[in-house]
């Protein structure tokens, strides 16, 4: 498919749906309340966008359409692929824009493989968040022009290291689960790997983080919005996820 030029020259986008929308709902997933308010203030400047906060939106039981989630990966307590899968199961047809500090074309290609519909770095949120949300709601995939020529190229050499630079992709996944109180057995079930493999990765994480106990990796509990989705019928088939609530 060819690139479609939008009204603003500094945007590159790719069609994925063709949906025409007169208004849309943007749901902000942000652990930091001040940051969430900041994002809401930006989006609130566009009267076509109904801004909602994740916890309240989930607990309201609303089913808006078109629905665009704005997911800030900074300080996220769930692995990104887990978050995306849960949103897709709970809100079929919704779209997701990821906010993150990393911006390489290789990283974006990996994210697109995981199912995101748009991407913004934290540095350009103020200028482009509203346009990105509105574009994604209308059915276009939103990226900056510097990535337009190669971001959709699916390379087999895409780096598999994300998050903390010293940890591998798998170690980052396991770290998220360990810090949210998953046992080794639960992690092995969730990631579909041997428990001995989990123990091996946990040992490596301890060494790289210079800690000796799981408690030393403790983090905050997940938000109420995620808790609600994990308790919903869509998550019933994966009881391992429920350990996050204990």
Residue 220: pLDDT band (50, 70, 90) is low
- Round to whole Å and give the CA distance between 202 and 178: 8
Decide which of 163 and 215 is more confident. Answer: 215
Structural domains in the chain, CATH included, are 3-147 (3.40.50.2300), 169-245 (3.40.50.2300)
Q: How many whole angstroms separate alpha carbon 62 and alpha carbon 6?
A: 30
* pLDDT for residue 148: 54
Residue 243 confidence (pLDDT) = 55
Q: Is 122 exposed, middle or buried (0-12, 13-18, 19+ CB in 10 A)?
A: middle
Mean pLDDT throughout 194-223?
79
Is residue 36's pLDDT more than 90?
Answer: yes
Question: What is the pLDDT of the chain when averaged over all its residues?
Answer: 75
State yes or no: pLDDT of 1 exceeds 50.
no
Tell me what the mean pLDDT of segment 219-235 comes to.
Answer: 65
- What integer pLDDT is reported at residue 154 of this predicted model? 42
Q: Given pLDDT bands bounded at 50, 70 and 90, which one contains residue 165?
A: very low
Alpha helix ranges (H) inside the chain: 33-43, 54-60, 80-90, 105-113, 125-138, 169-179, 184-191, 195-209, 224-231
User: Is the model's pTM score more than 0.85?
Assistant: no
Q: How far is CA 156 from the centre of its chain?
A: 22
What is the per-residue pLDDT across 69-122, written as a single tens digit (0 to 9) for each?
999 988 777 778 888 888 888 898 899 999 988 777 677 777 877 888 888 888
pLDDT in the model for residue 10: 36
The yes-or-no verdict on residue 164 having pLDDT over 60 is no
pLDDT classification of 212: cutoffs 50, 70, 90: confident
pLDDT over threshold 60, residue 14: no
Of 49 and 12, more confident: 49
């Amino acid at each position: 498919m060819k690139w479609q030029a939008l009204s603003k020259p500094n945007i590159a986008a790719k069609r994925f749906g063709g949906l025409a929308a007169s208004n849309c709902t943007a749901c902000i997933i942000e652990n930091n309340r001040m940051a969430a308010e900041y994002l809401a203030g930006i989006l609130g400047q566009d009267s076509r966008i109904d801004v909602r906060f994740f916890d309240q939106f989930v607990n309201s039981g609303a089913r808006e359409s078109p629905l665009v989630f704005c997911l800030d990966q900074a300080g996220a307590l769930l692995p990104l692929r887990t978050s995306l899968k849960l949103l897709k199961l709970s809100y079929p047809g919704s779209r997701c824009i990821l906010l993150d500090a990393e911006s390489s074309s290789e990283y974006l290609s990996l994210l697109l493989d995981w199912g995101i519909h748009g991407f913004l770095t934290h540095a350009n949120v103020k200028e482009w968040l509203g346009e990105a949300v509105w574009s994604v709601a209308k059915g276009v995939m939103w990226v900056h022009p510097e990535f337009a020529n190669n971001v959709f190229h699916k390379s087999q050499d895409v780096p598999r290291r994300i998050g903390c630079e010293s940890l591998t992709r798998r170690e980052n996944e396991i770290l998220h689960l360990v810090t949210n109180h998953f046992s080794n057995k639960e992690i092995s079930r969730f990631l579909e790997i041997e428990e001995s493999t989990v123990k091996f990765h946990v040992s490596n994480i301890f060494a790289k983080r210079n800690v000796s106990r799981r408690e030393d990796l403790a983090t905050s509990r997940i938000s109420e919005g995620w808790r609600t989705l994990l308790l919903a019928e869509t998550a019933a088939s994966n009881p391992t996820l429920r350990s996050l609530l204990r």
